[in-house]
Chain A
């Protein structure tokens, strides 16, 4: 995900000497239209059959709002947690050599490959009050399964690879000598992290965050098992869409989907702006 730096006026960047720019651009646009734009416009078109007042009624329905809040809120928290721990995992994988490193490296991708429903069932079994982890948390008064906390755990699980895999390659590019140079110039470790390492990594971290966040917002399979699915409490927006479909209420289902789409788009746009700003700021 890259954002073109702001340029003076609308001009195509000079294509490379290898021919084929017209063809590849044409193909890209056609492909994107077919795969993304047409389905999405179908979604908007179908919800447009509602009319504004009805659309507004669905959008401001308490249950819809609660579901959206839960979906976006838990995805945000999970993405934030993943940013911290995903960066840490990437750091360990890039900077240290230890036995079994390759296995750990491969393990990071498992949430990508695993069917999400399997992940959901496995996590629920672990965190249920009689599960291995749930049993330990129960005496502390922490309930994970069947609460929004469970949703966060599921989303952390499926979102981790997004952060690790976006941050890792950028981290590999950072020369160790830069840190050493900073150290010889008298920078403290904290200063090295905040002033030397972080600026270079920030765009990648933000990208990782937005990917993990976007994935979490739309996640269904791994969440419905651990969420408990109680309306107003732990009902995620994708489940509400499924419920509306079960009621054969296609316009309402697409309306909620369209709202999610718009919200996600705004969120990703903001993230992109922050990223552009951080690029300019830290270069």
Chain B
């Protein structure tokens, strides 16, 4: 390359880099990162779009929302280890509490920050069975029968799986008169019927729906409806057990990160707007149960059978702070029921 050519090229490079630099500055917008768990992929895709439009109309600012999905526990650990999340929207309170206690990046009173204990939507755990329900599965007691294969993820690696486990535990407790040994036996039998333990809720849905393993999938209500949409309603049907658990996936601002990045205002608006009429409608349409159903047009709320839902704050569990180590900690009940016969 001759010298003049080289200079021209260099000049062009300088000009473009300066231009793109200033242009980039002019279009600078806020970017926030929402670290969430697996089954909320579709929900937040729809919500992020709506929120960005709402924020633009309200403040004139452009906000870009990045999403990160994975197993709830793994996501919490990533935030603890330094993932730059502005907000976390995880599967269970226990995972946010872990961020609070292990990294102090979230204020301990985060549950009071937003309405409904910072849970803008709730969900529950139900069954998905093959069309015609060949094994006649209607209640939790049907899951421990011989010859029934149950698909559920591993509670050690999946937040959704912990709700599954607790729902089964609550059923057993109600039916065995609160005898813990019998509860353990019931839940142990249920897990003995599981041929596979996937590491996440989505993995289990795929194992059941696509690979054709098992007779019943225990899973999130919204994931079951998604599976119907995705894999065909003529292959599967949803079964509502008479009792289940009230799953409250919570949301929280990662205080240390938003303060460092100066994104607190938009992050707070992002989670706060989840309680708006528009957001609650999106939530309902994605098969979650809105925290404020009165805001949503009745036609948009899916009709679900009235089943009895037990909260994690029920004395049976005593909240996540107690239930997490007791059931899922190292050497906890789950480990005990999985001990092979010596």
Contacts and interface: CB of A to CB of B under 8 A. Distances in A.
A188 B197 CA distance: 53
Given A128-B211, A146-B213, A246-B73, A230 B157 contact: no
Interface string A67-106: 0000000000000000000000000000000000000000
A247 B156 contact: yes
A146 B203 CA distance: 13
A229 B196 contact: yes
Chain B interface bracket (under 10, 10 to 19, 20 to 34, 35 or more):
20 to 34
A40 B154 CA distance: 29
B330 interface: yes
Interface in B150-205: 154, 156-157, 194-199, 203
Interface in A115-143: 124-125, 128-131
B107 to A, nearest CB: 19
Nearest to A128: B211
Interface in A217-239: 224-225, 228-232, 239
Contacts of A232: 338, 340
A125 B197 CA distance: 16
Nearest to B157: A246
B275 to A, nearest CB: 31
A131 B198 CA distance: 18
A248 B339 CA distance: 21
A102 to B, nearest CB: 35
A267 B102 CA distance: 37
B102 A248 contact: yes
B157 A131 contact: no
Contacts of A131: 211
Contacts of A174: none
Contacts of B339: 62
Nearest to B338: A231
B242 interface: no
A246 B197 contact: no
B100 to A, nearest CB: 12
B330 A247 contact: yes
Contacts of A274: none
A124 B196 CA distance: 12
Contact of A229 (B74, B197, B211): B197
B214 to A, nearest CB: 10
B98 interface: yes
Interface in B309-342: 328-330, 338-340
Most buried by A among B71, B154, B199, B211: B211
Contact of A246 (B156, B195, B198, B213): B156
Given A243-B157, A248-B77, A248-B102, A125 B211 contact: yes
A213 B99 CA distance: 38
Contacts of A239: 199
Interface string A141-176: 000011000000000000000000000000000000
A192 B76 CA distance: 61
A37 B136 CA distance: 58
Most buried by A among B154, B197, B329: B197
Given A124-B211, A246-B74, A247-B330, A228 B195 contact: yes
Contacts of B195: 146, 228, 230
Contacts of A228: 195-197
B212 interface: yes
B217 to A, nearest CB: 15
A255 interface: no
Contacts of B330: 244, 247, 249, 252
Interface in B202-225: 203, 210-213
Contacts of A243: 154, 156-157
Interface in B56-72: 71
A224 B339 CA distance: 21
Contacts of B213: 128-130, 146
Contacts of A247: 156, 328-330
A242 B157 contact: yes
Nearest to B206: A121
Given A229-B196, A249-B330, A130 B212 contact: yes
A130 B196 CA distance: 15
A146 B199 CA distance: 13
Nearest to A125: B211
A248 B98 contact: yes
A224 B199 contact: yes
Contacts of A242: 157, 199
Interface string A248-282: 11001000000000000000000000000000000
Nearest to B197: A229
A143 to B, nearest CB: 9
A245 interface: yes
Contacts of B74: 246
Interface of A: 62, 124-125, 128-131, 145-146, 224-225, 228-232, 239, 242-249, 252
The 9 A-B pairs of least Cβ separation, nearest first, read A130-B212, A128-B211, A246-B73, A228-B196, A243-B156, A229-B197, A232-B340, A146-B196, A231-B338
Given A229-B198, A231-B338, 15 more contacts: A124-B211, A128-B213, A129-B212, A130-B211, A130-B213, A145-B211, A146-B195, A146-B196, A224-B199, A228-B196, A230-B195, A231-B197, A243-B156, A244-B330, A247-B329
Interface of B: 71, 73-74, 77, 80, 98, 102, 154, 156-157, 194-199, 203, 210-213, 328-330, 338-340
